[in-house]
Structure 1
Amino acid sequence: MPPPQGSWNRVEGPGDYPFTNEVHNDTYAAIDPTKADHVGHSGFNSGASKGLGRALALSLAKSSASEIAVGARSELTEVVAAIRQAANEAGRPEPKVLAVKLDVRDQASVEAATEKIAADFGKLDVVINSAEIIEPVTSIVDSSPDVWWSVWEVNVRGSYLISRSCIPLLLKGKLDTLIMISSVGAHVIIPGLSAYQPGKLAITRFMEFAAAEYKDQGLVPFSVHSGNVLSDIISEDTSYFQVRRKTRS
């Protein structure tokens, strides 16, 4: 969630403050994974190597999920160990953990990963796609077309490919929950982020189509604005945010 009201906020957007009486900046009782019971449930988190994706994978372990698949382009050995440790420290049964190498931009890679998950788990109850990138802050004219489009390749095409391959597995599960990590960027305009922010808006709209097309089969799609989290994707030395911080201090 956003920092306390009145403090500097790098990306303040609609709904950050006025609509709730209480703003949380850390895990609270209603969303504490150690109070959940997901025994028997299977989850898959793409983009799980770091940041929000890694944290969400650990939360699945803390919530007693029985089977957890994690995917990324990078090495996942440390994440797999951390998942098991998180379950043990929370006093939960150690889950079956499956690491899959995948590139969310590539159809064959995504399909191979989900085929492996299907062979090992048979179904999925929760899918979280947190794989994302952000472009350097620059104007449209000064931007690189290849870099600009690569953001859409990961954030939008990746969300589509993960959804396309995982929905059949979700419909075999019990929770049928499909989650795409969006951003406050879907609702605000920061000059210089013309690829990232429109892409996040596209993801939000795409989940509405998933809901409409599969509502009769029980699919529950979400596009989640996770709050203003200072994750790996937002660097403290990003020039735009440094300038904005100085002008507001």
Structure 2
Amino acid sequence: MLTIKNLPVGADFILPHHAATSYDYISPVKLDFAAFARAGASRIACCDLHGISDDIITKLKSAAKLANREEPLVLACRVDISSQESVKAIYDSVAQEFNGLLDVLVNSAAYMEPYKPFLESGSDIYWRTWEVNIRGLFNMARAFIPM
């Protein structure tokens, strides 16, 4: 049996594996949410903490045009998804802009610190990751699914 030194008893049952690349079907290089515009989505809200670039909006509109679809209404939103108040404010804005109708919500917000072994990381990093990646998705889904 292979043993790893300096680990607590029982912690040597599995070796960690960290891949340097992702699989083709989940590669961020192939990210293509313009498929929504090509399929005919007419109201698309793109949300992120830092905002969405004009280039993405242009690509969405161009994709619709190339597919002989009407140009979609695309709303770029800045939102802190971990904050219920921020999510409520962006919901109100999207609901007003799109008359209460939404085809696609692109939630581009996420939080991730550079990898560190668990015992070398602070609890604040893990809590912030939870707040954004778990609670934030809950906040957005809870607000927007009824729309």
TM-score (norm 1): 0.44
One-letter identity of the residue aligned with 2:32: A
Partner residue, 1:144: 122
Matches of 2:78 and 2:109 in 1, distance apart? 13
Partner residue, 1:100: 77
Q: Equivalent of 2:43, from 67, 72, 79?
A: 67
Q: How does 1:181-200 map to 2 (within 5 A)?
A: none
Distance 1:78 1:128, change over 3 A: closer
Paired residue secondary structure (1:71):
strand
Paired residue secondary structure (2:74):
strand
Distance 1:81 1:128, change over 3 A: closer
Matches of 2:141 and 2:51 in 1, distance apart? 23
Structure with the larger RCO, 1 or 2 (CA within 8 Å, 6+ apart): 2
Partner residue, 2:139: 161
Distance 1:90 1:55, change over 3 A: same
**Percent identical:** 34
Moved more, 144-153 or 156-165: 144-153
One-letter identity of the residue aligned with 1:75: G
Contact 2:110 2:133 in 1 (8 A): yes
Paired residue secondary structure (2:32):
helix
Matches of 1:111 and 1:75 in 2, distance apart? 17
Matches of 1:103 and 1:79 in 2, distance apart? 20
Q: Equivalent of 1:80, from 57, 60, 65?
A: 57
Q: How does 1:25-44 map to 2 (within 5 A)?
A: 25=24
TM-score (norm 2): 0.71
Matches of 1:105 and 1:97 in 2, distance apart? 23
One-letter identity of the residue aligned with 1:161: N
Paired residue secondary structure (2:41):
coil
Partner residue, 2:19: 10
Point out where structure 2 has 5 or more consecutive residues left out of the alignment: 1-17
Partner residue, 2:101: 123
Contact 2:82 2:131 in 1 (8 A): yes
RMSD, aligned CA: 2.6
Matches of 1:110 and 1:158 in 2, distance apart? 9
**How far has the Cα of 1:128 moved from its partner?**
4.8
